[in-house]
Amino acid sequence: MSKSANHSLLDTITDFMVPIHSDGWKFVAIAGAIAAFLWFMIPFSILAYIALGLTGYVAYFFRDPPRVTPLREGLVVSPADGRVSSIDRVRPPAELGLGSDERTRVSIFLSVFDVHIQRAPVSGRISKSIYVPGAFLNAALDKASEENERRSIVISSTRGDDIACVQIAGLIARRIVTFAKEGDSIGVGERYGLIRFGSRVDVYLPAGHNPLVHVGQRAVGGETIIADLKSTEAERLARQS
């Protein structure tokens, strides 16, 4: 095999082996231990194969791929991977302390196959971090924003705008993890949390600003631009086929 072929194969393997977030290693270890036990007790059985596949899925779920974040001031990037499930103009939840004026809320639904690391949409200081207990309704439902268990952070950006991100638990999700705490400074695209096993993230834009994504669009956390606070561009609509 030629040197270039070897290099290409190595690149392919390296690209496939996405790093696993540190929070996930204990779950990978538990699943791996169960798989090893079953392979030892009943090798080549259906249960052993299922356990092996489950171990691979757990490692896949907690993957933490690197991202290239646009750094221009005024850009708001997606805090999560997933599908834009709704764009609404609503009054933000009272706990955010953002007033009663309507803001654009961009909701991103994360399936169990999406990357579940959340990233800061802007640079700034975390002025609020609020945990609200609640239900575990389907995260795709609109009322999940108000009724489900959630963790909200408000980032006071370097421009002086307040932007809120809300991690919302879902039917399967039972654990919201936030790495950053109130008072911390955070850079755009920096990891600040994760939700385990299916969820939703809401972003509340500053009043008067339009989103640059549309319902049904796939968003990539830390990369997809969901708003430009320096732009007066009209709200984007999906082109009908």
Task: Record the tokens describing residue 57, joined without a space.
Answer: 């899925």
| Residue 126 reports pLDDT greater than 90 | yes
- pLDDT reported for residue 10: 55
Task: Pick the catalytic residue from 4, 22, 199, 231.
Answer: 199
* Pairwise CA distance, residues 140 & 114, whole Å: 14
Verify whether residue 78 is a known catalytic residue.
no
| Model pLDDT for residues 145-155, shown as the tens digit of each residue | 777 888 999 99
- pLDDT reported for residue 18: 72
Question: Which CATH architecture describes the domain 75-228?
Answer: Distorted Sandwich (2.70)
* Pairwise CA distance, residues 189 & 179, whole Å: 14
- pLDDT reported for residue 225: 96
Domain ranges of the chain: 3-61, 75-228
| Model pLDDT for residues 204-223, shown as the tens digit of each residue | 999 888 899 999 999 999 99
- Kindly state the average pLDDT of the residues 50-62: 87
| Residue 55 reports pLDDT greater than 60 | yes
| Model pLDDT for residues 18-41, shown as the tens digit of each residue | 788 878 788 889 989 999 998 888
Instruction: List residues bridging with 105 in a β-sheet.
Output: 88, 204
DSSP 119-152: E-SS-EEEEEEEEE--B---TTSTTHHHHB-EEE
Among candidate residues 83, 79, 35, 81, the one with its CA nearest the CA of residue 58: 35
Average pLDDT taken over every residue of the chain: 85
Q: Report pTM.
A: 0.82
In angstroms, how far is CA 13 from the centroid of its own chain? 25
- pLDDT reported for residue 156: 94
